[in-house]
Amino acid sequence: MKQTEEKRDVFVAIADPTRRKLIRLLADTDEVALHELTPHFQMGRTAVSKHLMILKEADLVKNRKAGRETKYRLNPEPLQEVKDWLAFYDQFWKERAAILKSILEE
Amino acid sequence: MKQTEEKRDVFVAIADPTRRKLIRLLADTDEVALHELTPHFQMGRTAVSKHLMILKEADLVKNRKAGRETKYRLNPEPLQEVKDWLAFYDQFWKERAAILKSILEE
DNA sequence: CCGATACGATACCAAATGGTGTCCTTTTGA
DNA sequence: TCAAAAGGACACCATTTGGTATCGTATCGG
């Protein structure tokens, strides 16, 4: 009874430029089939499919069988984890900037 | 005259949990030497050093030789690229949520 | 002065990654 | 009905990644 199929780190998922491009393409349209995505890349269908699989494992995309094709759609929710992670250093960044500013004003 | 030494993708740099932990440790203190960082990890000194090198190539850390030790410090500025990337999907996310809300309210 | 400390550089290794080609099944539509 | 389209599942391969152990050198401190 395993429906989660090995969870994938969202940071790893977005590390690859091909996968970021996929995310971008999926953001443009509600639902896209695999064969509609592949022409945007130089690599073969299998490679694109594997990237989509990795995104799915990170829960960044959902897919649905529709006849003979598989429709993919973006699920941006896991990106929240990255956003939260960044928020910490954003605060750090601002603090440092403030300290630097006060030093310069001495 | 190459001072940049092969630029590294910031998305790749932050993909590794060890490197994220290093970033976190460096955020806590202004300057930290390599031998002060290694005890926080199970791996050997060389491995930590290599991770720091990758962070440096992504310009996420700066380092400075101080006698026999090398002091590292965080430079959060490249994280801005990730933040900017996220901002796009944040907007997307909000739009979708609004659409969904309006559908439910029909 | 000299042993211990810090660390860069390098060689090496196993496993993961990112791609390929091929085979098979399901579905479509003329 | 049946050829073509769509795509999942593998097997396979080269390169990268994340770790090791080792050697050499510079610096510190008693």
pLDDT value at B3 more than 60:
no
Three-state secondary structure readout of chain A = CCCCCCCCCHHHHCCCHHHHHHHHHHHHCCCEEHHHHHHHCCCCHHHHHHHHHHHHHCCCEEEEEECCEEEEEECCCCHHHHHHHHHHHHHHHHHHHHHHHHHHHC
For residue B1, what pLDDT is reported?
41
Average of pLDDT values for A17-24? 98
Domain parsing of chain A, residue ranges: 1-75, 77-106
CB neighbourhood size of B97 (10 A):
11
CATH number of A1-75: 1.10.10.10
Mean per-residue pLDDT for A42-46? 97
Instruction: For residue A8, report the phi and psi dihedrals to the nearest 5 degrees.
Output: -115, 140
- Phi, psi dihedrals of residue A13, rounded to the nearest 5°: -60, -40
Answer whether residue B4 shows pLDDT above 70.
Answer: no
State whether B15 and A23 contact (CB < 8 Å). Answer: no
Which pLDDT does position A5 carry in this prediction? 54
Percent of chain B with pLDDT over 70: 94
Say whether pLDDT at B60 is over 50. Answer: yes
DSSP conformation letters of B14-55: TTSHHHHHHHHHHHHSS-EEHHHHGGGSSS-HHHHHHHHHHH
More confident of the two residues A24 and A94: A24
Interface test with A, best of B74, B89, B95, B99 (most A CBs within 10 A): B89
- Binned at pLDDT 50, 70 and 90, residue B91 comes out as confident
How many other C-beta atoms can be found within 10 angstroms of the C-beta atom of residue A72?
24
Average pLDDT over residues A43-51: 98
Q: Share the mean pLDDT of chain B.
A: 91
B64 CB neighbours strand D below 7 A: no
User: Across the interface, do A23 and B89 touch by the CB < 8 Å criterion?
Assistant: yes
What protein residues sit with their CB closer than 7 Å to strand C? A 12, 15-16, 18, 42-44, 46-47, 50-51, 54, 67-68; B 33-35, 45-46, 49, 63, 68-70
Query: Where does the pLDDT of residue A19 fall: very low under 50, low under 70, confident under 90, or very high at 90 and above?
Result: very high
* Residue of B86, B88, B95 to mutate, testing the A interface (most A Cβ within 10 Å of its Cβ): B86
The answer to whether the C-beta of A54 is closer than 7 A to strand D is no
pTM: 0.89
Under an 8 A CB cutoff, do A89 and B76 touch?
yes
Measured in angstroms, the CA of B9 and the nearest CA of chain A are apart by 8
Residue B70's CB is within 10 A of a number of other CB atoms, namely 16
CA–C1' gap, B30 and C8, in angstroms: 23
